[in-house]
Amino acid sequence: MSRPPKILVFDSGLGGLTVFAEIAALRPDAQFVYAADEAGFPYGALPATALAPRVLAVMGRLIDLFSPDVAVIACNTASTLVLPHLRAAFPDLPFVGTVPAIKPAAQTSQSKMISVLATPGTVARDYTRGLIEAYAADCKVMLVGSSRLASLAEDFMQGDAPSDAAILDEIAPAFVEAEGRRTDAIALACTHYPLLIAQFERLAPWPVAWIDPAPAIARRTDHVLTAELGFAAGGGETARKPALAVFTGSKEAGPKLREALRLRGIAKIALEPMPLVFA
């Protein structure tokens, strides 16, 4: 295939930008649409019965509008629940998901005490428990569900810096000491969290390895494009094309957010309002 690929990166909000940045670095030739379901945010608070139809509806609209070659679900809360439904509903479109980085956290850990920092939705999923059984059976795993961190990361991107105390309250339960051992690896199992990594590192009670799955998701996306869809390799000196951001809310982005997006190569923002309606 000689044309550049079109990649749709989707999240409930701005967290997926951490994944978008890695994919954009690997595929500077691609045309990107970054979609944030701001009207449905936060996904971590939605019951599974509401989240699945919501993601299917929003993705259906986005796929109709943009006809991507590949869709990246840059959201653990959605991926751990909705990926099979998306693949069944859109069988011709490859999906790349984002699931808690429990395997690399277990492999990285020396103390065999790891934590999974995620939304309440993700920590409650059978899928997450399955990953622990499959890949971290030799570890003591602390599941930490935070109901506030994703919103604090959104505020941070809008230029409203969260207090150290608010962040520390959310991350502290991930640091465990027992029987002379302590947590040494924490999976960032919500794509919003790497947006706050500088604060996490500064406030951590002791140094740990913070595991961000974004580079692995970027490699997987590139593999789908080249090995499965036949696109040419996309590295090299190609100048990046400006990307488009689409928000499902009705609020215009403020100046701080526009600047944060511009710095990430997103030059245009479109609103595609899709209010969240509960049946």
Query: 191 among the known binding-site residues?
Result: yes
Nearer to ligand DGL, 99 or 142 (CB): 99
Distance CA 144, CA 238 (A): 41
Angle, helix 149-157 to helix 255-263, in steps of 10 degrees: 90
- Report the residue number, 153 or 231, with the smaller CB distance to ligand DGL: 153
**Residues 101-120 close enough to bind ligand DGL by CB under 6 A:** 119
Q: What is the DSSP string of 74-96?
A: --HHHHHHHHHHHHHH-TTS-EE
d(Cα 136, Cα 130) in Å, to the nearest integer? Answer: 10
* 17 scored as a contact of ligand DGL (CB under 6 A): no
Work out how close the CB of 235 gets to ligand DGL at its nearest, in angstroms, rounded to a whole number: 27
Site membership for ligand DGL, residue 100 (CB under 6 A)? no
CB 36 within 8 A of CB 16: yes
When binding is defined by CB under 6 A, the residue of 4, 5, 13, 104 that contacts ligand DGL is 13
Question: x/- contact string, 23-62, with ligand DGL (CB under 6 A)?
Answer: ------------------xxxx------------------
# residues contacting ligand DGL (CB under 6 A): 17
What is the Cα–Cα distance from 86 to 89, expressed in whole angstroms?
A: 5
Least distance between ligand DGL and beta carbon 241 (Å): 25
Name which position in 31, 122, 183, 248 contacts ligand DGL (CB under 6 A).
122
Residue 139 annotated among the catalytic residues of the structure: no
Q: Of 39, 96, 99, 190, which residue is the catalytic one?
A: 190
Q: Count CB-CB contacts under 10 A for residue 88.
A: 9
Least distance CB 79 / ligand DGL (angstroms): 8
Give dist(CA 15, CA 154) in Å, integer. Answer: 8
Q: Where are the alpha helices (DSSP H) in the chain?
A: 17-26, 48-66, 76-89, 102-108, 120-124, 126-135, 149-157, 164-171, 197-203, 214-223, 255-263
Q: Which of residues 134-153 bind ligand DGL (CB under 6 A)?
A: 150
Interface contacts to ligand DGL, rule CB under 6 A: 11-13, 15, 41-44, 75-77, 119, 122, 150, 190-192
